[in-house]
């Protein structure tokens, strides 16, 4: 049993992680300031070994005592928002990480938690062919990915200069029930169930890798156990679909005609054509994704309808 400080554990991926960590017997202190993206339907609030601290990671003045790991999910996470107003992205994604690093540094060397930072495949930028490894250079294309890349660089600098125990996890596009309906699949279900055509930026042919959030969290938990401190790990299903392909799969799952389900709007600036990451490092530790998009979509739609 480990004592974990999770940040952003009321959000989409963080909530899957908290649930899994509690089920595995870990103790969780969840620091989340509850932005618009926080989930209101979570059932772990009364569980033993769980505590929620409503706070901004930028405002924390000290870390809880005896924490083994900090797992930092807290972030502003939606690219479109970052293009319209980037201040909150700099605040949470860069300043927040800076504050957490400084709090770890302030601890006695013998008492420092490992700082596990949840980053993204978007930090590498677009990739026409092949898959980026953890050694590839960062080349972000929009304010969201730029703030995530900035945080990764801070972490590496703090590791080298101050010897902080850190780990960076860069995962691809996640899907699953509970995702705020601003992100593609959740928004598509929401629009189509409400009789609206889903809007697609550009022609939707840009490609992403799609990973079930539960599989991602299994990888992160495995990395706490078996990952090497100081390392970076990519996490991906390597299941690749264009955005329009994935959205058409949703329409088909809902029994709608995909040709009648979408409206195409101007592409967003900084749109990357393709993301792909090599995740042989985490797979070598024994992780493999269990879910595929086609398998999960009927369950996703069922859960969404049940809630509506
Ligand atoms: N969603 C994806 O597909 C994806 C893919 C790769 C990486 N990531 C990364 O995973 C992490 C989680 O993503 P998500 O989609 O679950 O995000 P989300 O937007 O659903 O949730 C973010 C959570 O963080 C909290 N939060 C935000 N700023 C905070 C702050 N300053 N202090 C305390 N709490 C704060 C919010 O209240 C919310 O509960 C992010 O760091 C994101 O960059 C996401």
Ligand 1 site-directed mutation target among 35, 56, 282, most atoms within 8 Å of CB: 35
Q: Per the residue annotation, which of 32, 56, 76, 122 is the catalytic one?
A: 122
Full-model pTM: 0.98
**Does 178 sit in the ligand 1 pocket, CB within 6 Å?**
no
Number of domains in the chain: 1
Print the domain residue range for 286: 3-177+210-238+275-290
Question: Does the active-site annotation cover 98?
Answer: no
Q: Which helix (H) or strand (E) holds 216?
A: helix 213-226
pLDDT in 10s for each residue of the chain, 308 residues: 999 999 999 999 999 999 999 999 999 999 999 999 999 999 999 999 999 999 999 999 999 999 999 999 999 999 999 999 999 999 999 999 999 999 999 999 999 999 999 999 999 999 999 999 999 999 999 999 999 999 999 999 999 999 999 999 999 999 999 999 999 999 999 999 999 999 999 999 999 999 999 999 999 999 999 999 999 999 999 999 999 999 999 999 999 999 999 999 999 998 999 999 999 999 999 999 999 999 999 999 999 999 86
Q: Per the residue annotation, which of 19, 76, 121, 209 is the catalytic one?
A: 121
In a domain, 191, yes or no: no
In a domain, 108, yes or no: yes
In a domain, 28, yes or no: yes
Question: Does the active-site annotation cover 121?
Answer: yes
In a domain, 269, yes or no: no
In a domain, 256, yes or no: no
Question: Does the active-site annotation cover 144?
Answer: yes
- Let me know: does 250 contact 302? Beta carbons within 8 Å: no
In a domain, 78, yes or no: yes
In a domain, 77, yes or no: yes
- Let me know: does 146 contact 196? Beta carbons within 8 Å: no
In a domain, 188, yes or no: no
Cα 107 to ligand 1 centroid, rounded to whole Å: 25
The three-state DSSP-derived secondary structure of 46-99 is CCCCEEEECCCCCCCCCCCCCCCEEEECCCCCCHHHHHHCCHHHHHHHHHHHHH
CATH number, domain of 56, equals: 3.40.50.720
């Amino acid at each position: 049993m480990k004592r974990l400080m999770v940040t952003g554990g009321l959000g989409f991926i963080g909530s899957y992680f908290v649930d899994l960590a509690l089920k595995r017997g870990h103790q969780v202190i969840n620091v989340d300031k509850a932005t618009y993206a926080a989930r209101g339907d979570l059932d772990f609030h009364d569980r033993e070994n769980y505590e929620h601290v409503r706070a901004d990671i930028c405002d924390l003045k000290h870390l809880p005592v005896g924490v083994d790991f900090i797992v930092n999910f807290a972030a502003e996470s939606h690219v479109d928002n970052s293009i319209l107003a980037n201040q909150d992205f700099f605040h949470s994604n860069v300043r927040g990480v800076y504050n957490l690093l400084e709090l770890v540094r302030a601890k006695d060397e013998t008492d420092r938690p490992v700082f596990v930072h949840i980053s993204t495949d978007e930090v590498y930028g677009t990739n026409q062919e092949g898959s980026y490894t953890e050694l590839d250079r960062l080349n972000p294309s929009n304010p969201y990915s730029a703030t995530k890349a900035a945080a990764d660089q801070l972490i590496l600098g703090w590791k080298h200069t101050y010897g902080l125990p850190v780990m960076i996890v860069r995962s691809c596009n996640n899907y699953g029930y509970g995702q705020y309906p601003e992100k593609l699949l959740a928004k598509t279900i929401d629009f189509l169930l409400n009789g609206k055509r889903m809007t697609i930026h550009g022609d939707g042919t840009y490609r992403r890798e799609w990973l079930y959030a539960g599989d991602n969290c299994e990888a992160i938990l495995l990395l706490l156990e078996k990952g090497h401190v100081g390392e970076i790990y990519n996490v991906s299903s390597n299941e690749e679909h264009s955005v329009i392909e994935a959205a058409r799969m949703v329409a088909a799952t809902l029994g709608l005609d995909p040709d009648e389900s979408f409206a195409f709007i101007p592409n967003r600036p900084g749109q990357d054509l393709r993301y792909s990451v090599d995740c042989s490092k985490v797979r070598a530790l024994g992780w493999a994704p269990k879910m595929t998009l086609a398998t999960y979509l009927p369950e996703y739609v069922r859960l969404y309808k049940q809630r509506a």
